[in-house]
Chains A and B, each alone.
Chain A
Amino acid sequence: MRKITGFLIFLLVFWCSSTACGKVYIDINSPAFQKFPVAIPEFKNLGKTGAEEKLSVWFADQLSRTLKITGFFKIISKDAFLEDQNSSGITTGEIDFSNWSSIGSDFLIKGGISYSGKKLAVEFRLFDTIEGKLITGKKYWGRPEEKKTMVLKFADEILMALTGRGGVFDTKIAFVGRKGNRSEIYTINFDGSDPVRITTYNSLTLLPRWSPDGSKISFTSYKAGNPDCYITNPISRKTKRVSRFSGLNLLTSWSPDGKKVLLVLSKNGSDDIYIKHLDSGRLQRLTKNRSIDVSPMWSPDGRKIAFVSNRSGSPQIFVMDSEGKALRRLTFEGSYNSSPCWSPDGTRIAYEGSSNGCFQIFSIGENGDNPTQLTFEAGGGESPSWSPDGRYLTFSSKRDGRERICVINSNGLNLRVMPGIKGIKLFKSPSWSGHLNLY
């Protein structure tokens, strides 16, 4: 989605009671977490023209869809609604909250639309129906084509009010789409909208990885005959080759400051892990081993590196410090564990492991505690990548014989399969961006 300039949308913060403000309703990471039940009736037409009518339903539906995607909300069916829309309003005094609490909707979102000239003005209000109180409210002005942005912004407000943190609506997922013997890099928005092809090399192009600030995507491509590493700007498409040794050149992780990358190079006959300093071009070798050492991934504080090695016989996850020292083995259960990905808070590492002949997504404490299986379906899961808030994981999974990009909440619930792209049968290697400040 296009970046929208600040002046187009003006926010008006409504007053809200001091008890509701800043109160975190439920810890969404708790295993006992129940989804927030919320009702979103059609938005009210507050204007005098007929232009608002068709948007009443659109706003309610779009907001319902957006909240549902987060995995934290249970949207109450319209069929259950008791309220007569015509006789009620969108402010506290105009709402009989018992109409909503009695149908199990602890939360209610009301909205109103009006046109002022060519500008669209939309009010959103989130209520606690048990206490009969406004939790938060906002009014947005903008061009009609910015209506989706308004929905995403208010969805972010809702998450902030109820969970103490905003959403990941301004993030994208980069992945590989393969057609026959060729593959390209694509990006898609968090909600599955707006797929964009980033490369057009008609070659094999693999392993997209976002730079921490989201301004660049690295990948490996065979376009010049050898698997070499490139870094591209996904908007200008300006691309630079950063590693072209004979053999493998795989870039699997950016340092938190974006100044260094971790490479796997096989130029010396054995694939080993190197740090490349992007400014000076200096290479620093971290592993020197006859075993396979791949998939290095920096911890969020940049002090540690998780990677995969078969030095103990089968692929397992190891952790070392950023100098290649203080090596320890992390995974002991299962005969094949790989693709480590550090959670944004640094406490857990997601990975794929074999389970009953199929690969599934797991996570394990950074110190090796508590390995937990997160996916169980027959399609399995490979190559996990965390969302920047750590609340979700994206991975690839086989669905109806095709490999698709999926998203789950970090507790393993709320599986969502990303929409496909016409003509492409296989999607893999997803990488979740940081916040891109799109809205």
Chain B
Amino acid sequence: MRKNLITVILVFVCSFSLIFIAGCAKEQAVKSDVELTQAQPTTEEAAALKEQALKEKALKEKILAEAAAFQNIHFDFDNYDLKPESRELLEKLADWLLEHGDFEATIEGHCDNRGTAVYNLALGERRAEAAKAYLINLGVAGTRITTISYGEELPADSRNCEAAWAKNRRDHFIVFPKKQ
């Protein structure tokens, strides 16, 4: 019984070794082929490769441009509720992030300069978190989204009037390729 078992094991080991050796040989052969092709590409092939690279570059640029184009969403004074138009924008952002899994987003929450700096830091955090929660609700993984509040410290418009304040009460989105 015991002798039989040893035989079986030996057969198995031998078979695997053979497969492994054969595999190595095959891979080597393919590899040398590839090297040969790359060393002397025909003119047509070179052109095709170049075109391909250009297409990829253009596509990448297009995606980056799309990533950079997400508009700010705005809020009412002392409020972090998402407005209907903000929800629409967030839905577009969520679709885009679901389509481009290799991208992440940072949401910056901002406030106008009325009220207390400290309270506004908390309010900015709530505004960023409100957008993040909505994106998560739409299926985007929470690990892909970070939030940071800048309170009233980084106004988009530094004037002191309702038009500027309305612009400053915002979430700003930074969408970027996942860091390796």
Give A contacts to B, CB under 8 Å. Answer: 178, 181, 183, 204, 206-207, 222, 226-227, 247-248, 250, 252, 264, 266, 269, 271, 292, 294-295, 308, 310, 314-315, 336, 338-339, 352, 354, 359, 382-383, 398, 401, 428-429
**Whole-angstrom distance between the Cβ of A398 and the nearest chain B Cβ:** 7
Chain A interface mostly: strand
Task: Mark interface residues in B116-143 (1 if CB within 8 Å of A CB, else 0).
Answer: 1111011101100100000000000000
**A207 contacts B117, C-beta separation under 8 Å:** yes
Q: Specify the chain A residue showing the minimal Cβ separation from B129.
A: A269
**B115 contacts A359, C-beta separation under 8 Å:** yes
Most buried by A among B114, B118, B123, B160: B118
**B116 contacts A248, C-beta separation under 8 Å:** no
What is the CA–CA distance of A264 and B116 in the complex, to the nearest angstrom? Answer: 14
Question: Known: A266-B122, A295-B118, A336-B115. Is A315-B153 also a contact (CB below 8 A)?
Answer: no
**Whole-angstrom distance between the Cβ of A330 and the nearest chain B Cβ:** 15
What is the CA–CA distance of A206 and B118 in the complex, to the nearest angstrom? Answer: 9
10 closest residue pairs by CB, A with B: A338-B116, A271-B122, A292-B122, A339-B116, A295-B118, A294-B122, A294-B118, A338-B119, A266-B125, A204-B153
Whether a CB of chain A sits under 8 angstroms from the CB of B69 is no
**B122 contacts A429, C-beta separation under 8 Å:** no
**B118 contacts A336, C-beta separation under 8 Å:** no
**Whole-angstrom distance between the Cβ of A22 and the nearest chain B Cβ:** 43
Question: Known: A352-B116, A359-B114. Is A248-B160 also a contact (CB below 8 A)?
Answer: no
**Whole-angstrom distance between the Cβ of B149 and the nearest chain A Cβ:** 6
What is the CA–CA distance of A239 and B151 in the complex, to the nearest angstrom? Answer: 24
**B78 contacts A308, C-beta separation under 8 Å:** no
- Collect the chain B residues with CB atoms within 8 Å of residue A295's CB: 116, 118-119
- Collect the chain A residues with CB atoms within 8 Å of residue B122's CB: 248, 264, 266, 271, 292, 294
Q: Specify the chain B residue showing the minimal Cβ separation from A398.
A: B160
**Whole-angstrom distance between the Cβ of B24 and the nearest chain A Cβ:** 48
Instruction: Assign chain B's interface to a size class.
Output: 20 to 34
6 interchain pairs, CB-CB under 8 A: A248-B149, A294-B116, A308-B116, A310-B78, A338-B118, A429-B117
**Whole-angstrom distance between the Cβ of B83 and the nearest chain A Cβ:** 19
Question: Known: A264-B122, A292-B122, A398-B160. Is A206-B149 also a contact (CB below 8 A)?
Answer: no
Q: Specify the chain A residue showing the minimal Cβ separation from B150.
A: A204
Q: Specify the chain B residue showing the minimal Cβ separation from A425.
A: B158
- Collect the chain B residues with CB atoms within 8 Å of residue A314's CB: 78
Whether a CB of chain A sits under 8 angstroms from the CB of B148 is yes
- Collect the chain B residues with CB atoms within 8 Å of residue A338's CB: 115-116, 118-119
Give B contacts to A, CB under 8 Å. Answer: 78, 114-119, 121-123, 125-126, 129, 147-151, 153-154, 160
**A292 contacts B150, C-beta separation under 8 Å:** no
- Collect the chain A residues with CB atoms within 8 Å of residue B115's CB: 315, 336, 338, 354, 359, 382
**A206 contacts B153, C-beta separation under 8 Å:** yes
What is the CA–CA distance of A250 and B118 in the complex, to the nearest angstrom? Answer: 8
What is the CA–CA distance of A339 and B121 in the complex, to the nearest angstrom? Answer: 13
Most buried by A among B147, B149, B153: B153
- Collect the chain B residues with CB atoms within 8 Å of residue A382's CB: 115-117
Picked from A178, A250, A383, the residue with its CB within 8 Å of the CB of B121 is: A250
- Collect the chain A residues with CB atoms within 8 Å of residue B123's CB: 292
Question: Known: A207-B117, A315-B119, A382-B116. Is A271-B153 also a contact (CB below 8 A)?
Answer: no
- Collect the chain A residues with CB atoms within 8 Å of residue B116's CB: 294-295, 308, 315, 338-339, 352, 382-383
What is the CA–CA distance of A60 and B154 in the complex, to the nearest angstrom? Answer: 46
- Collect the chain A residues with CB atoms within 8 Å of residue B121's CB: 206, 227, 248, 250, 294
- Collect the chain B residues with CB atoms within 8 Å of residue A226's CB: 148
Q: Specify the chain B residue showing the minimal Cβ separation from A292.
A: B122
Q: Specify the chain A residue showing the minimal Cβ separation from B128.
A: A247
**Whole-angstrom distance between the Cβ of A380 and the nearest chain B Cβ:** 9
What is the CA–CA distance of A383 and B118 in the complex, to the nearest angstrom? Answer: 9
Given contacts A382-B116, A401-B160, 6 further A-B contacts (CB under 8 A): A206-B121, A247-B125, A247-B149, A248-B122, A308-B119, A336-B115
What is the CA–CA distance of A271 and B121 in the complex, to the nearest angstrom? Answer: 10
**A181 contacts B154, C-beta separation under 8 Å:** yes
- Collect the chain B residues with CB atoms within 8 Å of residue A429's CB: 117
Question: Known: A292-B119, A295-B116, A401-B160. Is A336-B78 also a contact (CB below 8 A)?
Answer: yes
- Collect the chain A residues with CB atoms within 8 Å of residue B151's CB: 206
What is the CA–CA distance of A206 and B154 in the complex, to the nearest angstrom? Answer: 12
Q: Specify the chain B residue showing the minimal Cβ separation from A336.
A: B115
- Collect the chain B residues with CB atoms within 8 Å of residue A178's CB: 153
- Collect the chain A residues with CB atoms within 8 Å of residue B129's CB: 269
- Collect the chain B residues with CB atoms within 8 Å of residue A227's CB: 121, 148-149
**A294 contacts B119, C-beta separation under 8 Å:** yes
**Whole-angstrom distance between the Cβ of A174 and the nearest chain B Cβ:** 14
What is the CA–CA distance of A295 and B115 in the complex, to the nearest angstrom? Answer: 12
What is the CA–CA distance of A382 and B160 in the complex, to the nearest angstrom? Answer: 15
Q: Specify the chain A residue showing the minimal Cβ separation from B146.
A: A246
- Collect the chain A residues with CB atoms within 8 Å of residue B114's CB: 359
**Whole-angstrom distance between the Cβ of B75 and the nearest chain A Cβ:** 14
**Whole-angstrom distance between the Cβ of A307 and the nearest chain B Cβ:** 10
